[in-house]
């Protein structure tokens, strides 16, 4: 058997990632503005990291692209067509592996999308082999999700989404619940998965290191409410990325400063209104609420 | 975003009363109960309380002439049919109520009203409407089952993790497919709980359902024994009812655990 790392999912020339465009997107929940006039562009096959403090509206933007949430104003388009509803073209990987179907073995989780489209049993078996191979889980096909580790479960989620040949992969802190070692393994795997599928990827994270390891583009968001894009960076470091290189560290410093400002702003806002709950994990080295 | 707990291996359910030690303790507890029963019977005499031995003797007597077997069969049949119909109606209604807000809003006041009216209140009406045959009893068992099953199913549907539903939509499942392939399987544990509670209620109801015009059945046995002044037969009816309920629940649990294991039914 060929090593699993050599699996090529998409024959060359077949359609790959789509161009994603947010134009002046604002999102309101009743009288609360979550996102204000965000414009973003992601070229086909590129990976954009949305980086920002917890609760800033990153996931809200992603939900809009996934078709779960309408924009209040502005438009979200994939290859020029506005997103109106969720669908297999826009593959969503959730942070929690609660999103897996616990009553189905891994294999059937992966082929859920094809099954819904009426793909036959034999073809589904081939699909399961192919995509479980891609994420290195072919030996777990008949296991139940609760028999797998957290990292393996996220691989199943990725394989389940890829089995629909999505054009855009939406990842909402997919490795956020994993331990540091597993997270770093999964981050390295992303390069391989992207090379095999050609998907455009939107990746939400609040982890600066993760963003630099993965991204072609990083968009930093301001702390909500009414979050905007604060700054954006193009990352052109060679892959796999060396976390000790001078460029890596410099970028890390810049991002930390951007986000630090936002966390401080959030804490100041909180100081004015002490009734608010804790906004999340303050960065180490940042002053606490005064 | 907060990090979610992500346990690698689910902890095994705590073992309760299993193994040789548990069996021994259970047996001891039963013996102790019998002893208390015996002491009370000795204290109050056979006119008020049949002793375990007298009950056993009466049980053998009733078993010999076939009354006991016929009673068990008749009651078990009514319970199974009424309860089964309760599941057959309650589960789909609960699924639809859980998924469709307008139907939930429409049905909720009625369910909230009727679930507080005990079946015994409807015994007379059931006989007037459905006659003195089997149907009036089955209807009462159905009545006592259906609300519990419905309410538990609704609770189950509302508890389905939002990300599962979103994942299904995003994987291309339609409304009907989501109901069949996501909502229903995710709701199974709640349905099983509802089914068990409904089974318990069916046993509470069967005696009142058989008050009027039942020839056979454990409830009927208890009521007619009263007319004959046979306290020992009443005891036989009560004990057999309890044992039958215990057996039904055990069978239900074992079947649910075996057949529905993958749906995370924990009993």
In this prediction, residue B13 carries a pLDDT of 58
Residue closest to B249 by CA, chosen among B179, B199, B186, B180: B199
Q: A98 and A199, same structural domain?
A: no
pLDDT at B1 over 50: no
Confidence at A288, pLDDT banded by 50, 70, 90: very low
Inter-chain contact A112–B185, Cβ cutoff 8 Å?
Answer: no
Residue recorded with tokens 């119909």? B85
Q: Distance between CA A253 and CA A247 in Å, rounded?
A: 10
CB nearest A101 (choices: B6, B166, B182): B182
Among the ranges given (A51-55, B169-173, B246-250), the one the predictor scored with the smallest mean pLDDT: A51-55
In this prediction, residue B4 carries a pLDDT of 44
Confidence at B179, pLDDT banded by 50, 70, 90: very high
Domain membership of residue A13 (yes or no) is no
Q: A270 and A206, same structural domain?
A: yes
Q: A177 and A54, same structural domain?
A: yes
Return the half-sphere exposure (C-beta side, CA atoms, 13 A cut-off) of residue A256.
13
Inter-chain contact A116–B2, Cβ cutoff 8 Å?
Answer: no
Model pLDDT for residues A240-270, shown as the tens digit of each residue: 899 999 999 999 999 999 988 888 887 887 7
Percent of chain A with pLDDT strictly greater than 70? 88
Residue recorded with tokens 């795997």? A189
Domain membership of residue A58 (yes or no) is yes
Confidence at A75, pLDDT banded by 50, 70, 90: very high
| Residue in A closest to B265 by C-alpha | A103
Q: Distance between CA A260 and CA A281 in Å, rounded?
A: 12
Model pLDDT for residues B69-109, shown as the tens digit of each residue: 999 999 999 999 999 999 999 999 999 999 999 999 999 99
- State the smallest CA–CA distance between residue B191 and chain A in angstroms: 15
CB nearest A90 (choices: B161, B170, B186): B170
Inter-chain contact B163–A117, Cβ cutoff 8 Å?
Answer: no
Say which residues have a Cβ less than 8 Å from residue A8's Cβ, sequence separation at least 6. Answer: A196
Q: A267 and A198, same structural domain?
A: yes
| Residue in B closest to A100 by C-alpha | B164
Inter-chain contact B262–A117, Cβ cutoff 8 Å?
Answer: no
Model pLDDT for residues B30-58, shown as the tens digit of each residue: 999 999 999 998 899 888 888 888 899 99
Q: A207 and A108, same structural domain?
A: no
- State the smallest CA–CA distance between residue A118 and chain B in angstroms: 11
- The whole-model pTM stands at 0.80
CA angle B239-B241-B244, nearest 5°?
110
Q: Got the DSSP string for B112-162?
A: HHHTTS-GGGGHHHHHHHH-SSHHHHHHHHHHHHHHHHHHHHHHHHHTS-H
Q: A240 and A202, same structural domain?
A: yes
- State the smallest CA–CA distance between residue B11 and chain A in angstroms: 11
Q: A113 and A71, same structural domain?
A: no
Which residues in chain A have Cβ-Cβ distances shorter than 8 Å to B265?
none
Q: A276 and A220, same structural domain?
A: yes
Inter-chain contact A88–B167, Cβ cutoff 8 Å?
Answer: no
For residue A153, what are the CA distances in angstroms to A188, A276, B196? 17, 34, 33
Model pLDDT for residues A122-165, shown as the tens digit of each residue: 999 999 999 999 999 999 999 999 999 999 999 999 999 999 99
Complex ipTM > 0.85? no
Which residues in chain A have Cβ-Cβ distances shorter than 8 Å to B185?
101, 103
Is the Cβ–Cβ distance between A145 and A156 less than 8 Å? yes
The domain ranges of chain B are 54-263
Model pLDDT for residues A44-66, shown as the tens digit of each residue: 999 999 998 877 888 899 999 99
In this prediction, residue B127 carries a pLDDT of 86
DSSP character at residue A187: H
Which residues in chain B have Cβ-Cβ distances shorter than 8 Å to A104?
262
Q: A243 and A198, same structural domain?
A: yes
Inter-chain contact B177–A116, Cβ cutoff 8 Å?
Answer: yes
Q: Distance between CA A199 and CA B40 in Å, rounded?
A: 78
Torsion sign, CA atoms B163, B167, B169, B170:
positive
The CATH number given to B54-263 is 1.10.3720.10
Residue A98 burial class via C-beta count within 10 angstroms: exposed 0-12, middle 13-18, buried 19 and up: middle
Q: What is the mean pLDDT of residues B16-32?
A: 84
Structural domain total, chain A: 2
Q: Distance between CA B157 and CA B166 in Å, rounded?
A: 14
Domain membership of residue A60 (yes or no) is yes
pLDDT at A278 over 70: no
Which residues in chain B have Cβ-Cβ distances shorter than 8 Å to A183?
none
Determine the length of chain B: 267
- State the smallest CA–CA distance between residue B189 and chain A in angstroms: 11
On average, the pLDDT of chain A sits at 86
Q: Distance between CA B180 and CA B250 in Å, rounded?
A: 28
In this prediction, residue A15 carries a pLDDT of 53
Which residues in chain B have Cβ-Cβ distances shorter than 8 Å to A92?
166-167, 170
Q: Distance between CA A177 and CA B8 in Å, rounded?
A: 12
Among B12, B162, B170, B184, the residue to mutate for chain A (most A Cβ within 10 A): B170
Residue closest to A169 by CA, chosen among A141, A117, A134: A134
Is the Cβ–Cβ distance between B94 and B151 less than 8 Å? yes
Residue A6 burial class via C-beta count within 10 angstroms: exposed 0-12, middle 13-18, buried 19 and up: exposed
Query: Maximum distance among all alpha carbons in chain B?
Result: 72
Q: A177 and A147, same structural domain?
A: no
Pairing of strands A217-221, A47-51: parallel
Domain encompassing residue A220: 21-89+168-182+190-284
Say which CATH number the domain at A197 has: 3.40.50.300
Pairing of strands A47-51, A200-205: parallel
Domain membership of residue A269 (yes or no) is yes
Residue B25 burial class via C-beta count within 10 angstroms: exposed 0-12, middle 13-18, buried 19 and up: exposed
Domain membership of residue A289 (yes or no) is no
Q: A280 and A177, same structural domain?
A: yes
For residue B8, give the H/E element and its range.
Answer: none
Q: Distance between CA A39 and CA A74 in Å, rounded?
A: 9
| Residue in B closest to A157 by C-alpha | B167
Q: Distance between CA B95 and CA B103 in Å, rounded?
A: 10
- State the smallest CA–CA distance between residue B245 and chain A in angstroms: 30
Domain membership of residue A4 (yes or no) is no
Inter-chain contact A99–B169, Cβ cutoff 8 Å?
Answer: no
In this prediction, residue A130 carries a pLDDT of 93
In this prediction, residue B211 carries a pLDDT of 78
Q: Distance between CA A281 and CA A263 in Å, rounded?
A: 9
CB nearest B10 (choices: A101, A113, A146): A146
Q: What is the mean pLDDT of residues A93-113?
A: 95
Residue B11 burial class via C-beta count within 10 angstroms: exposed 0-12, middle 13-18, buried 19 and up: exposed
In this prediction, residue A281 carries a pLDDT of 44
Q: Distance between CA B267 and CA B255 in Å, rounded?
A: 11
């Amino acid at each position: 058997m060929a090593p699993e790392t050599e699996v090529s999912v998409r024959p060359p020339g077949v359609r790959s990632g789509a161009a994603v465009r947010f134009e002046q997107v604002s999102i309101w929940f009743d009288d609360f503005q979550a996102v204000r006039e965000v414009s973003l562009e992601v070229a086909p096959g590129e990976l954009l990291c949305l980086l920002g403090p917890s609760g800033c509206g990153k996931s809200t933007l992603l939900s809009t692209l996934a078709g779960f949430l309408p924009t209040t104003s502005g438009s979200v388009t994939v290859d020029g067509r506005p997103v109106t509803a969720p669908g297999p073209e826009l593959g969503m990987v959730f942070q929690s592996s609660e999103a897996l179907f616990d009553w189905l073995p891994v294999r059937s989780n992966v082929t859920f999308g094809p099954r819904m489209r009426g793909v036959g049993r034999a073809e589904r078996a081939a699909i399961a082999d192919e995509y479980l191979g891609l994420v290195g889980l072919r030996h777990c096909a008949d296991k139940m999700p609760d028999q797998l580790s957290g990292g393996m479960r996220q691989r199943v989620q990725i394989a389940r989404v890829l089995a629909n040949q999505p054009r855009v992969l939406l990842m909402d802190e997919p490795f956020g619940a994993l331990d540091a070692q597993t997270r770093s393994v999964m981050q390295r795997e992303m390069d391989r998965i992207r090379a095999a599928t050609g998907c455009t990827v939107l990746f939400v994270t609040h982890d600066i290191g993760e963003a630099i390891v993965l991204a072609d583009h990083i968009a930093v968001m301001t702390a909500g409410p009414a979050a905007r894009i604060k700054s954006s960076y193009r990352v052109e470091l060679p892959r796999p990325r060396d976390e000790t290189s001078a460029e890596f560290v410099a970028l890390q410093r810049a991002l930390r400063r951007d986000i630090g400002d936002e966390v401080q702003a959030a804490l100041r806002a909180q100081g004015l209104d002490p009734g608010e709950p804790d906004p999340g994990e303050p960065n180490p080295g940042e002053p606490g609420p005064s | 975003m907060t990090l979610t707990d992500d346990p690698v291996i689910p902890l095994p359910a705590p073992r309760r009363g299993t193994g040789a030690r548990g069996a021994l303790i259970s047996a001891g507890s039963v013996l102790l109960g019998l002893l208390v029963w015996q002491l009370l019977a000795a204290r109050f005499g056979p006119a008020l309380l049949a002793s375990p031995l007298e009950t056993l003797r009466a049980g053998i007597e009733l078993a010999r002439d076939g009354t006991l077997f016929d009673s068990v069969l008749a009651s078990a049949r009514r319970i199974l049919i009424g309860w089964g119909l309760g599941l057959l109606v309650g589960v789909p209604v609960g699924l639809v109520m859980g998924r469709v807000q307008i139907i939930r809003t429409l049905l909720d006041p009625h369910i909230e009203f009727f679930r507080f009216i005990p079946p015994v209140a409807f015994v007379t009406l059931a006989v007037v409407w459905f006659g003195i045959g089997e149907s009036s009893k089955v209807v009462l068992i159905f009545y006592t089952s259906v609300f519990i099953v419905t309410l538990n199913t609704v609770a189950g549907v509302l508890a389905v993790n939002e990300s599962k539903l979103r994942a299904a939509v995003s994987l291309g499942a339609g409304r009907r497919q989501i109901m069949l392939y996501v909502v229903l399987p995710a709701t199974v544990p709640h349905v099983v709980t509802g089914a068990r509670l409904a089974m318990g209620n069916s046993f509470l109801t069967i005696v009142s359902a058989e008050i009027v015009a039942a020839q056979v059945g454990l409830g009927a046995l208890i009521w007619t024994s009263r007319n004959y002044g046979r306290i020992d037969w009443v005891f036989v009816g009560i004990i057999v009812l309890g044992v039958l309920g215990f057996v039904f629940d055990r069978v239900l649990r074992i079947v649910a655990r075996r057949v529905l294991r993958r749906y995370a039914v924990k009993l």
